[in-house]
Structure 1
């Protein structure tokens, strides 16, 4: 049995390297959160592969965050950017980034078969 699946994300859908001067979103469609029996997390690391220090002390978002804002239709959008979004909904789901390059890791703990056989994949990282 596989205990964890990891997805390393360091480029946006347009092929550009993730960097904090830009703002990005990852949008999980209704019913398309990582299919796990455990939990999932999206964690940000700066260029030296450590957590990026930030005023919120927020280094990841996922299942364990009970305050994530989900749209009425079940869509979950996570914003990754150096600047806090002004929209309260986006700010609630904001993962603070450095101004420089960074990477994201999506981890699926105790993943379902859809993760293991590649049927499910993370959403694209889109530049705003």
Structure 2
């Protein structure tokens, strides 16, 4: 989404792309690209660093918000997974929202799993 949104947003499979929508797609693509770069740079850092944990919680909020927006969005992707999928409301927007929700849940689980490590490191740093 980030690469195609920056270089050729008109080729994205969205309905009714006007100039305003294209500008918003480019802004969103820039946000996603910057977030991806920050995530790649923070990935190899130790689990207890505040910057890594702050980025993780920011990404959790971002993905959960995207999930909510996509679940409540009207149809804007002109593709279908078939009549059976449509009968279960399995549209591209809902599937995309589900993926965002799962990624957000993953960040929340990671955040909770590393709370003890961060607390122990903070205690060690305080005692020195």
Q: Same-fold call, TM > 0.5?
A: no
Greater radius of gyration (CA):
2
Instruction: Choose between structure 1 and 2 for higher RCO, CA contacts under 8 A separated by at least 6 residues.
Output: 1
TM-score, length basis structure 2: 0.24
TM-score, length basis structure 1: 0.24
